[in-house]
């Protein structure tokens, strides 16, 4: 029994990804799919890794526990075994299992993220561990996002039980592996094999990141991380709250607060007059902006809402 298989290899990154794709293809093959309904009843799902396949629990009592080195010959016997509950609370793993369980019940769709971030989100896999030349990189979740034009992009998400800025650095580290030009074809193949979907991919190689951590709550110190996160582009932030009685989560988008004077829009009206909108006040409860006529635009406006 194991929690996460992060055993790494010294193979080049391209070969690691190819092995990941091959294990994904095994999971989607007919011999493994015979067990699909039984796995679902037991709240287990098959996770590919560079070194093999694991059967992982999505049950709230045994979150992210499971069995490694799965083969067709072993799978039937393994499902007869019982998992022991962890000795300590694992809030990140419970959230991760809750999200995966929701995705598996919706044919791979993470509709709660649609509501929070906009677009359409598909669950690809979790706990993807790779070894680059300089470091180990891990994605808690790998997703696909479909924008309003129907174009797909990869998204890596990090889950945390506390609000620490290291989370953003972890997102960026994995992003570098996602955006390597030589790996684009294999990443897209992996996503399509795992979801069973054929996506229309965005021509840009840019990906997005998501940080999911506890909501700010009433402690103002927690909000400091919201200010610092402005240094990390293309990373959306979600705050979660958990109802311990029913083991359900509430997710809310967290927008970074903008300083007074920040330009949020420059555009022309119907008469051709250029106008600039700037922030007057941005607090936890009040947002005010003012629009004034200008002679010419002179800078780009930042995004203040989830990208479409």
pLDDT value at residue 301: 47
Residue with tokens 């796995």: 39
Q: Evaluate whether residue 193 is within a structural domain.
A: yes
| Mean per-residue pLDDT, 242-269 | 82
The per-residue pLDDT for range 47-95, each reduced to its tens digit, is: 999 999 999 999 988 999 999 999 988 888 887 787 777 766 788 999 9
The answer to whether 240 touches 95, Cβ cutoff 8 Å, is: yes
Q: Are residue 249 and residue 304 in the same domain, yes or no?
A: no
Model confidence at 291: pLDDT above 50: yes
Model confidence at 231: pLDDT above 80: no
Q: Are residue 181 and residue 155 in the same domain, yes or no?
A: yes
pLDDT value at residue 30: 93
Q: What is the domain range of residue 301?
A: 258-308
The answer to whether 74 touches 25, Cβ cutoff 8 Å, is: no
Nearest CA among 210, 214, 223 for reference residue 250: 214
Q: Are residue 178 and residue 306 in the same domain, yes or no?
A: no
pLDDT value at residue 165: 87
Burial class (CB in 10 A: 0-12, 13-18, 19+), 269: exposed
Q: Are residue 159 and residue 281 in the same domain, yes or no?
A: no
pLDDT value at residue 267: 84
Q: Are residue 49 and residue 180 in the same domain, yes or no?
A: yes
The per-residue pLDDT for range 86-140, each reduced to its tens digit, is: 766 788 999 999 999 999 999 999 999 999 999 999 999 999 999 988 889 999 9
**What whole-number percentage of the chain has pLDDT above 70?**
85
Q: Are residue 173 and residue 284 in the same domain, yes or no?
A: no
Q: Are residue 42 and residue 168 in the same domain, yes or no?
A: yes
Q: Evaluate whether residue 267 is within a structural domain.
A: yes
Q: Are residue 267 and residue 299 in the same domain, yes or no?
A: yes
What total number of domains does the chain contain? 2
| Mean per-residue pLDDT, 251-269 | 81
Model confidence at 256: pLDDT above 80: no
pLDDT value at residue 51: 93
Angle value at C-alpha 230, between 228 and 232, nearest 5 degrees: 105
Q: How many residues does the chain have?
A: 308
Q: Are residue 123 and residue 83 in the same domain, yes or no?
A: yes
pLDDT value at residue 80: 78
Q: Are residue 148 and residue 282 in the same domain, yes or no?
A: no
Q: Are residue 31 and residue 171 in the same domain, yes or no?
A: yes
Model confidence at 155: pLDDT above 90: yes
Burial class (CB in 10 A: 0-12, 13-18, 19+), 116: buried
pLDDT value at residue 225: 55
The answer to whether 147 touches 207, Cβ cutoff 8 Å, is: no
**What whole-number percentage of the chain has pLDDT above 90?**
56
d(CA 200, CA 181): 18
């Amino acid at each position: 029994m194991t929690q996460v298989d992060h055993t790494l290899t010294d193979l080049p990154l391209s070969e690691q990804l190819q092995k990941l794709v091959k294990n994904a293809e095994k999971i989607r093959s007919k011999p493994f799919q015979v067990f699909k309904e039984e796995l679902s009843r037991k709240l287990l799902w098959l996770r590919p890794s560079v070194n093999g396949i694991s059967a992982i629990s999505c049950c709230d009592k045994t979150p992210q526990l499971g069995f490694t080195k799965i083969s067709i010959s072993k799978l039937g016997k393994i499902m007869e075994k019982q998992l022991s509950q962890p000795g300590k609370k694992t809030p990140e793993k419970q959230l991760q299992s809750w999200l995966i369980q929701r995705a598996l019940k919706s044919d791979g769709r993470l509709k709660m993220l649609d509501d929070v971030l906009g677009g359409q989100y598909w669950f690809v896999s979790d706990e993807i561990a790779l070894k680059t030349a300089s470091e180990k990189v891990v994605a808690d979740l790998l997703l696909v996002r479909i924008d309003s034009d129907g174009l797909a992009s990869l998204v890596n998400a990090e889950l945390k039980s506390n609000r620490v800025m290291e989370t953003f650095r972890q997102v960026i580290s994995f992003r570098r592996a996602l955006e390597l030009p030589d790996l684009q074809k294999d990443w897209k193949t992996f996503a399509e094999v795992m979801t069973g979907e054929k996506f229309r991919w965005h021509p840009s190689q840019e990906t997005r990141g998501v940080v999911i951590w506890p909501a700010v709550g009433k402690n103002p110190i927690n909000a400091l991380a919201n200010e610092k996160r402005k240094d990390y582009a293309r990373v959306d932030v979600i705050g979660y709250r958990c109802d311990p009685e029913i083991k359900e989560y509430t997710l809310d988008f967290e927008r970074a607060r903008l300083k007074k004077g920040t330009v949020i829009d420059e555009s022309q009206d119907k008469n051709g007059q250029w106008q600039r909108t700037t922030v007057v006040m941005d607090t936890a409860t009040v947002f005010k902006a003012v629009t004034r006529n200008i002679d010419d635009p002179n800078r780009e406006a930042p995004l203040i809402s989830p990208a479409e």
